[in-house]
């Protein structure tokens, strides 16, 4: 139990459930400060016991035991907290891919393809994609031969609120040796991003990894 958790538990000493424990302790304290009869309705036997040395000890122990139980009892989750905790598990599965698109740029010194993954945030948390992707995309030639490409770049940061749809854009640079084979593939190539890891963060959950998918790039004739 860390310091912050201890502080939360300590606040329970001042809640409604701590009242019986405080009453037991307060009863003994007031009994020492006043001669008034607090338990007139109790039988003489019970009064005699609780005013005896043993009764004093039992009362004090019961009071401290009650307060200890209030502080240490497991905190019950509200339905909203339970929903959030359940949703924080397998967060990568809460980002659902609902489409892809590609735009090739072949006229520059280093050709590249901007790939857009259209995803919906099905979690209750806002999420943000930022930083650098990890892993390598795979170029799939028209003959089925697979070649690793350099790690793609995140074209722009993405923030998605609950139930929001957005575009996750990555930029994949293409070696000239591969773009020369475009004609052989009928003006199309495939790139597999299933090994590319993109980190998402949320203010309420741990960072998690989302993987891309295979896309088809069509080049203008």
Q: Are residues 116 and 199 in the same domain?
A: yes
Positive or negative torsion for Cα 114, 175, 142, 181: positive
User: Which pLDDT belongs to residue 39?
Assistant: 47
Cβ pair 210, 130 in contact under 8 A: no
Structural domain containing residue 22: 3-75
Task: Tell me, yes or no, if the pTM score tops 0.75.
Answer: no
Residues near 37 by Cβ (< 8 Å), separated by ≥ 6? none
For residues 64-77, b (16+ Cβ closer than 10 Å) or e, as one string? eebbeebbeeeeee
Q: Is the pLDDT of residue 42 over 50?
A: no
Q: Are residues 197 and 100 in the same domain?
A: yes
Q: Are residues 214 and 109 in the same domain?
A: yes
Helix (H, G, I), strand (E, B) or coil at 154: strand
Give domain status of residue 173, yes or no: yes
Give domain status of residue 207, yes or no: yes
> Domain total for the chain?
2
Cβ pair 219, 103 in contact under 8 A: no
Give domain status of residue 80, yes or no: no
* Tally: H helices and E strands in the chain: 6, 12
Please state, in angstroms and rounded to a whole number, the distance separating the CA atoms of residues 47 and 43.
6
Weakest mean pLDDT among 4-8, 68-72, 122-126, 148-152: 4-8
- The average pLDDT across 80-98 equals 76
Weakest mean pLDDT among 81-95, 113-127, 162-176: 81-95
Instruction: Give the residue among 69, 87, 64, 70 at the shortest CA–CA distance from 14.
Output: 70
Sheet holding 112-121, edge to edge: 95-105, 112-121, 165-173, 153-154
């Amino acid at each position: 139990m860390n310091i912050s958790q201890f502080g939360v538990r300590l606040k329970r000493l001042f809640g409604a459930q701590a009242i019986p424990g405080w009453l037991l302790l307060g009863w003994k304290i007031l009994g020492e400060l006043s001669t008034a009869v607090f338990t007139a309705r109790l039988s003489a036997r019970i009064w005699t016991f609780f005013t005896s040395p043993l009764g004093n000890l039992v009362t004090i122990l019961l009071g401290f035991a009650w307060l200890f139980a209030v502080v240490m009892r497991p905190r019950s989750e509200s339905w909203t907290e339970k929903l959030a905790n359940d949703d924080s598990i397998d967060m990568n599965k809460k980002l659902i891919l609902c489409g892809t698109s590609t735009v090739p740029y072949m006229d520059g010194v280093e050709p590249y393809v901007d790939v857009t993954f259209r995803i919906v945030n099905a979690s209750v948390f806002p999420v943000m994609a930022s930083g650098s992707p990890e892993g390598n995309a795979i170029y799939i030639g028209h003959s089925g031969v697979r070649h690793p490409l350099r790690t793609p770049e995140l074209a722009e940061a993405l923030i998605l609120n609950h139930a929001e749809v957005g575009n996750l854009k990555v930029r994949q640079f293409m070696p000239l040796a591969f773009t020369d084979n475009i004609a052989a593939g009928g003006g199309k190539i495939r790139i597999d991003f299933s090994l590319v890891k993109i980190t998402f963060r949320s203010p309420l959950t741990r960072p998690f990894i989302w993987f891309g998918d295979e896309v088809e790039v069509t080049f203008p004739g």
